[in-house]
Chain A
């Protein structure tokens, strides 16, 4: 069943005269992992952020279960965020350096749930366990832990509200290769276990091939080709896709 449907989305940065997202349409089904690939600056991240309104897109619609997110009043959008989460690229900068891990996770429940203090703590511990970390992390600051651990916290935070759709914005590109594999495995495990839908943004075709069902190729703000991983990798139709594939061969 169709979970998220993006229709003719457009985002212009007038200051730089760039149309970062130029009339993009696609949909993501429940439990489906869709890859979004393209070179740096092609508008992948802007597209991801516009979908969940971290950036304001001028035109288009984003339907989540039939409801247009871009037309929701602010307050409603805030509570809607529990269903659509995002895992960010840089685990070093995307966690507030002054807030302890436990409080980072508990804050999610303060926003979206009516839990007691004890329940919040327990839920935070649970969230840590889902990503392979323990309660000993609750009182640490982001600066006390490694990049891989930080990204696990980023994942735990995104998962804490039980979302159905997660945008993974280059979640492994700032990590070491060995850690990359661990995080990718973790993301795949969680996806299978909870039947989540991912929009997986990456410039790395290897990563996309390893985890995605379908892949979309983006160039200069437009989707130039869409298909199953197999089809795209074996039989690319568009010039840009061919060049992209040649570059890694």
Chain B
């Protein structure tokens, strides 16, 4: 097992290198330069000054040298300095992560709390009217575009009913609140974004849960349990759920990158200062170190999440052996 994990971890290195080379090349190929905002659009800046800026940022070197420099810094876990405000990239990312992570965690918990019961009950009543209505419900959530649903809900709940705030993560006078009020304030701000993102993610978990459960309920050992004299409730919740749930939980590993990745559209609509917005802003200003930082962390987490899903899948299923 440990040998397997080590081998997989070593295998990640070339993969990450490849990803970073491609993304590095692609973002540098994109038209426009980080210095454009300060130089190109300002007629008073001389050519000399422009070149000096390029030199300071190291943009005058050939691309492959720039990449190797970046890689050298990265090997010391130094993600570099942001071009736009000269703050360390890692600090900029670190202040955004809790916000995105918090929203996404809340949304995943909501998805599990609602999606798993929907999946289980649909499987138990397979092909019934209830099952079909739930299918329509979760796929509606999956199919409705996030931005559209967000805007509609902002209009109805936020503007017409005036129940919830529609943007940001805290009120303007947040600092004057007591700590209880602060929590309530944040919850009220995050209610809509969390609801919208959970609604969209419901289909995945509930469908996966349902199909696992339908499969498990047809297994011979369920018949054995029935022959033993177990009640239907115990059959579903003791034998079937245990077998059907664990594979579902393991795919949560796949949602790890999404946890801190954040969504550009989503965070822009609700004005949430999270990772998605940071990425969007840094792309618009061609802030290469920040873009690379966000992408590399995202890629690393995706690969780790996949590995984690594989390992946990094997750990919970006695029939799977990872050695080969």
Contact = CB atoms under 8 A, between A and B. Distances in A.
B228 A157 contact: yes
A52 B227 CA distance: 8
26 contacts: A54-B227, A78-B230, A78-B231, A81-B228, A82-B229, A86-B227, A88-B223, A88-B224, A88-B227, A93-B221, A94-B220, A94-B221, A95-B224, A97-B317, A98-B243, A98-B246, A98-B318, A99-B239, A99-B242, A111-B228, A111-B230, A141-B318, A143-B318, A154-B224, A157-B228, A158-B227
B318 A108 contact: no
Given A82-B229, A112-B229, A157-B228, A96 B223 contact: no
Given A90-B220, A96-B221, A78 B229 contact: yes
Nearest to B219: A93
Contacts of A54: 223, 226-227
A143 B220 CA distance: 15
B239 A94 contact: no
List the 4 shortest-distance A-B pairs measured between CB atoms, nearest first: A81-B229, A93-B220, A94-B220, A96-B221
B176 interface: no
A85 interface: yes
B215 to A, nearest CB: 12
A81 B221 contact: no
B225 A96 contact: yes
A112 B231 CA distance: 12
B52 to A, nearest CB: 67
Interface in A53-102: 54, 78-82, 85-86, 88, 90, 93-99
Contact of B228 (A98, A108, A141): A108
B319 interface: yes
Given A86-B227, A107-B230, A112-B229, A97 B318 contact: yes
Interface residues of A, number: 30
Interface of A: 49, 52, 54, 78-82, 85-86, 88, 90, 93-99, 107-108, 111-112, 141, 143-144, 154, 157-158, 161
Nearest to B240: A96
Interface in B73-110: none
B227 A85 contact: yes
A5 B219 CA distance: 29
A171 to B, nearest CB: 13
A157 B223 CA distance: 13
Contacts of A143: 318-319
A96 B227 contact: no
B224 A94 contact: yes
Contacts of B319: 97, 143
Contact of A79 (B221, B229, B318): B229
Nearest to B231: A78
B318 to A, nearest CB: 5
Nearest to A111: B229
